[in-house]
């Protein structure tokens, strides 16, 4: 999905990050701690807007094409920016506390709250309800979700290290830091949003019993409907009950008397022709 729609996704992320960087840069010229706080708030809101917009874009391109324009995608994300920001801030505080205490509680919260943003953007649930919705979706699949998140973190960490090495020749200044943030965020954020949104749809399919049993196709589930397997493990299509006596439901190849149930071909073992031989006309 990222390869097929890289330009669309990167433009959404880069556009939001670039506008936020410009606003923050202009505010920094004015100076003052109040202006600095406002600039930091702009960056925070931009980060939440990028999350929501990319999740909306991931929902849009699941059918293989981008039906919404960039403006429509950002507009739809802006409608839920409040719940996304509120839920993300609360989750971040709880996760940091959990990591600081024993690490394991923080990792547990990261796992069970992995899809709170897709739940808000796609299902339009409220900020507080998104925690329970995410927990219900992840229930029973926690280790799978945790494994995907760990692999995604390692991939993104490697990409950010490479980007940092490429941009290291830039002088350490506010401008270079802004450029690094825009470039890194524009390349990394779409992949992360696609992973989280794909996890969400996979969990929804598992919840509804329509998840495919075979390996998932790249970019999402196969286009055709999937049927859940029966409890006995047999195929989901109807099975014909065997008739009485344990015989197969189809006609046997031979009748009980040893004769075939249809006219034998020429040269059959019985030696009889497949049709009545011609004879003298009846008198």
For the chain, the structural domain boundaries read 6-79+137-208
Tell me the pLDDT of the chain averaged across its residues: 79
The reported pLDDT for the residue numbered 220 is: 44
3-class DSSP state of 132: helix
Nearest-5° angle of CA 79, CA 81, CA 87? 135
Q: Please compute the mean of the pLDDT values over residues 118-133 and round it to a whole number.
A: 94
At 19-48, the pLDDT tens digits run 988 888 788 777 778 888 888 898 899 999
Range with the poorest average pLDDT among 112-116, 163-167, 226-230, 246-250: 226-230
Q: What is the mean pLDDT of residues 68-83?
A: 93
How much of the chain exceeds pLDDT 70, in percent? 71
| Backbone region of residue 271 per phi and psi (left: phi > 0; alpha: psi in -120 to 50; beta: other values) | left
Q: Mean pLDDT throughout 117-133?
A: 94
What is the tens place of the pLDDT at every residue in 157-190?
898 888 878 877 766 666 667 777 788 888 999 9
Extract long-range pairs of 39-48: CB within 8 Å, 24+ residues apart: 44/85, 45/20, 45/81, 45/85, 46/16, 46/17, 46/19, 46/20, 48/81, 48/84, 48/85, 48/88
Q: Residue 26 has what pLDDT?
A: 83
**97 pLDDT above the threshold of 80:** yes
In this prediction, residue 259 carries a pLDDT of: 55
Say which residue, 119 or 262, is predicted with more confidence.
119
**pLDDT at residue 266, rounded to an integer:** 54
pLDDT surpasses 90 at 274: no
What are the backbone angles phi and psi of residue 124, rounded to the nearest 5°? 60, 40
| Alpha carbons 137 and 44: distance in angstroms, whole number | 27
Most confident of 93-102, 129-138, 176-185, 207-216: 129-138
> pTM of the entire structure?
0.69
């Amino acid at each position: 999905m990222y390869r097929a729609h890289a330009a669309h996704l990167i433009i959404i992320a880069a556009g939001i990050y670039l506008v936020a960087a410009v606003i923050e840069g202009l505010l920094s010229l004015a100076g003052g701690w109040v202006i600095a706080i406002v600039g930091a708030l702009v960056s925070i809101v931009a980060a939440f807007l990028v999350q929501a917009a990319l999740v909306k874009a991931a929902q849009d391109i699941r059918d293989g094409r981008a039906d919404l324009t960039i403006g429509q995608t950002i507009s739809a994300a802006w409608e839920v920016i409040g719940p996304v920001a509120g839920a993300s801030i609360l989750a971040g505080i709880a996760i940091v506390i959990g990591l600081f205490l024993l690490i394991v509680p923080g990792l547990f919260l990261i796992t069970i709250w992995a899809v709170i943003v897709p739940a808000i953007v796609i299902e339009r649930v409220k900020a507080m309800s998104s925690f329970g919705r995410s927990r219900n979706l992840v229930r029973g699949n926690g280790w799978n979700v945790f494994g995907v998140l760990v692999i995604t973190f390692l991939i993104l960490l490697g990409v950010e290290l490479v980007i940092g090495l490429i941009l290291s020749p830039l002088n350490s200044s506010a401008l270079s830091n802004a450029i690094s943030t825009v470039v890194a965020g524009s390349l990394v954020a779409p992949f992360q949003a696609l992973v989280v949104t794909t996890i969400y749809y996979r969990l929804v399919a598992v919840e509804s019993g329509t998840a495919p049993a075979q390996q998932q196709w790249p970019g999402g589930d196969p286009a055709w409907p999937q049927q859940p397997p029966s409890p006995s493990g047999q195929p989901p299509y109807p099975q014909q009950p065997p008739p009485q006596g344990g015989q197969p439901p189809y006609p046997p190849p031979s009748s009980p008397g040893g004769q075939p149930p249809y006219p034998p071909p020429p040269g059959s073992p019985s030696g009889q022709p497949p049709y009545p031989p011609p004879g003298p006309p009846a008198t």
